[in-house]
Amino acid sequence: MGRHHSPVTPPLANDRVRIRPATASDQATLVEFRLAMFADMRNCEPGAKTALLADLEALRASNLRWMAEHFGRDFIAWVVDLDGRTVASAGLLWFAHPPGPRNPGGREAYILNVYTRPEARRMGLARALMERVVEEARAADVRRIWLRASADGRPLYEAIGFAVGNYLELTCDWRAARGNPDPPNRLRRRRPAATDSRPATRVGSATGNGSLRLP
């Protein structure tokens, strides 16, 4: 499951642009893209970016450990090189879900780490990567692909065919529990922004899970 298929040249490719499977030497870049993605997502949350920066080194170290453990096993990724510099990525995490009526094989894929450097945006790179990871999942006979979307990413994912699923999320607020005499099992439910009256399970919300079912 961890093996890539052959590299793909996207429709927008020219001498400047190349899409390719990530290699072990790209792990540090994938982690930096992940941290940059978190920073982008938190730009509009008061105080959240400050908290992220305070924990940045610990978060980087834990992600590097995770990457070393999972890369090439149950996690694979693609990157885009622009003029020889890596500027975008998208990852695919395989996992085995119990079989169900709509997914008899049980195999699923989670798309993550979809990120493009600011200077390379609006060039179609994210779409090329998304089409590539969807095709990889299709080739692996995956029947359900899902992801979490930012507000900026939602139009792209919906254009590809992702739709709102029936998943809800409950997160453990461990940070709030630190230094609290109560056991660290306080839970909080994430809510959509106050200006958004749509359900919390929509794609693009803090709890939104979009999915794509393949025939």
Output 53 or 6, whichever has higher pLDDT.
Answer: 53
CB 143 within 8 A of CB 102: yes
Residue 80 sits in a domain whose CATH number is 3.40.630.30
C-alpha–C-alpha distance, residues 209 and 215, integer Å = 20
Burial category of 146 from C-beta neighbours within 10 Å (exposed 0-12, middle 13-18, buried 19 and up): middle
- CA angle (165 as vertex; 164, 168 as ends), nearest 5: 115
Q: Give 129's contacts (C-beta < 8 A, 6+ positions apart).
A: 19, 78, 80, 88, 89, 90, 114
Is residue 85 one of the residues assigned to a domain? Answer: yes
Is residue 169 one of the residues assigned to a domain? Answer: no
Q: pLDDT, tens digit, for every residue of 86-133?
A: 999 999 999 888 888 888 888 899 999 999 999 999 999 999 999 999
Range of the domain at 142: 17-163
Is residue 146 one of the residues assigned to a domain? Answer: yes
Is residue 7 one of the residues assigned to a domain? Answer: no
Number of domains in the chain: 1
pLDDT band, very low/low/confident/very high, at 3 (cuts 50, 70, 90): low
Q: What are the tokens at 5?
A: 């298929």
Is residue 12 one of the residues assigned to a domain? Answer: no
CB 78 within 8 A of CB 129: yes
